[in-house]
Amino acid sequence: MKNPEAQTRQRPRPAGPARTHVRTRRWQPTDRGGQPGFLLPLAIMGALLLVTSNVALLLADLQIVQAQAVEEERNSDNDQLLSAAHLIGDYIIPSKTQFSCLSALEFSQWSCRVSAIRPIVNASSLATTVNKFMATGDFSPVTIKNWSPTRSGSSLTGGVLTLEATDNNNVKQQKSFYIRFPGGGRISTATEEPQS
Amino acid sequence: MQLAETVVAVSIFAMPLTATVQMASQRQLSDQGQITRQQQMSAVDADRLALQGAWMQVKPSTCTMQTVVTMKNATTSLSAPTGIQRQLVYLKDGLTHASEGQALLARWTSSNGELLRQRIYTPMGVGLCS
């Protein structure tokens, strides 16, 4: 079998125009067996595939970020309302502060004076005092929506406090807290960490 | 003709490919950030429970400012988890009697100062009044 390379070497090279002709022929698709227009659709398909996968990944990331943001917003709302409940519970615990007389009254009757030297207090003054604390902690103000005292016989055992807060998205959140007075005040909710 | 087609094809494919590479690198950073954030929030949750546990050990006789001081002393010895900082602040309302309305603000921040969570605690809120 003859060596084709040797044959090429032995063959005299054609003059300038002929060499150009040979080089031009090499780029013709038919010389390599490729199909004309093959690369372009392949590139478009690959690009579309990449774009689609990128969009899918972006959407997945967005969902994760949104879920985390919702979770953090919910935690923030819970912290805000529970902090306010702690403060209000601390203020209205019987025989402690100028707001103590409120604890025995239904919310619709919230206006009283605990002693001759203390001012008359109501839901608004209590909310103002509590929100001063809340502002110190960079919390948004909360609104007291309801208070229903609970009794065991003639003694006051606690009550259900309903608070409302407005979150960063201007959505109002309401939550009820069960406050128990005897044997140490306790605040708990059905959804927030139990204070046992 | 084939050269032109190759150039166009490479160009078409290169754009999303470059974007993909950039996205991959950004996602890696974003993933790391999310993992760090989740770790920080978990650390805050653990620290909140630790604080509450420490406060529950305090047995004061009344819900007064002294109770809050005792609470703070009992909890400052607890070291904050790594990666987050815990700050305990007394809250005092000047409008009320000195012994009233005392509370403790617990703030958890990341190492770069970003506020993660915050809560106000009172002696009553953690069941310390008797």
Query: Would residue B39 count as lying in a domain?
Result: yes
pLDDT category at B107 given cuts 50, 70, 90 is very high
Query: Would residue B129 count as lying in a domain?
Result: no
Query: Would residue B82 count as lying in a domain?
Result: yes
Q: Is the pLDDT of residue A35 over 80?
A: no
* Contact flag B16-A54 (C-beta cutoff 8 Å): yes
Average pLDDT over chain A, rounded to whole?
Answer: 77
* Residue B98 touches partner A, C-beta closer than 8 Å: no
**Minimal Cα distance from A138: which residue of B?**
B118
pLDDT category at A143 given cuts 50, 70, 90 is very high
Higher pLDDT, B94 or B90: B90
- Tens digit of each residue's pLDDT (9 = 90 or more) over A59-71: 998 998 899 888 8
CA distance B117 to chain A (A): 7
- Give the 3-state DSSP-derived string for chain A, with helices as H, strands as E and coil as C: CCCHHHHHHHCCCCCHHHHHHHHHHHCCHHHHCCCCCCHHHHHHHHHHHHHHHHHHHHHHHHHHHHHHHHHHHHHHHHHHHHHHHHHHHHHHCCCCCCCHHHHHCCHHHCEECCCCCCCCEEHHHHHHHHHHHHHHCCCCCEEEEEEEEEEECCEEEEEEEEEEEECCCCCEEEEEEEEECCCCCEEECCCCCCCC
Higher pLDDT, A193 or B101: B101
Query: Would residue B130 count as lying in a domain?
Result: no
* Residue B34 touches partner A, C-beta closer than 8 Å: yes
Q: Which chain A residues are Cβ-neighbours of B122 within 8 angstroms?
A: 86-87, 89-90
Domain coordinates in residue numbering, chain A:
68-188
* Contact flag A89-B9 (C-beta cutoff 8 Å): no
The pLDDT assigned to A194 comes to 35
Q: How far apart are CA B105 and CA A91, in angstroms?
A: 16
Least CB–CB distance from B34: residue in A64, A76, A129 = A64
Query: Would residue B126 count as lying in a domain?
Result: no
pLDDT category at A37 given cuts 50, 70, 90 is confident
The pLDDT assigned to A95 comes to 62
Least CB–CB distance from B9: residue in A39, A91, A136 = A39
* Residue B127 touches partner A, C-beta closer than 8 Å: yes
- Tens digit of each residue's pLDDT (9 = 90 or more) over A95-106: 667 888 888 899
* Contact flag B117-A34 (C-beta cutoff 8 Å): no
Full domain range(s) for residue B6: 2-121
* Residue A83 touches partner B, C-beta closer than 8 Å: yes
- Inter-chain Cβ pairs, chain A and chain B, closer than 8 A: 147
**Minimal Cα distance from A76: which residue of B?**
B117
Number of domains in chain B: 1
- Tens digit of each residue's pLDDT (9 = 90 or more) over B10-29: 888 898 899 989 989 988 88
**Residue A23 vs residues A75, A82, A161, A164, A189: alpha-carbon distances, Å:** 72, 82, 90, 82, 84
Q: Is the pLDDT of residue A30 over 60?
A: no
CA distance A14 to chain B (A): 25
The pLDDT assigned to A190 comes to 36
- Tens digit of each residue's pLDDT (9 = 90 or more) over B27-85: 888 888 888 888 899 999 999 888 888 877 776 656 666 677 777 887 887 888 888 89
* Residue A180 touches partner B, C-beta closer than 8 Å: no
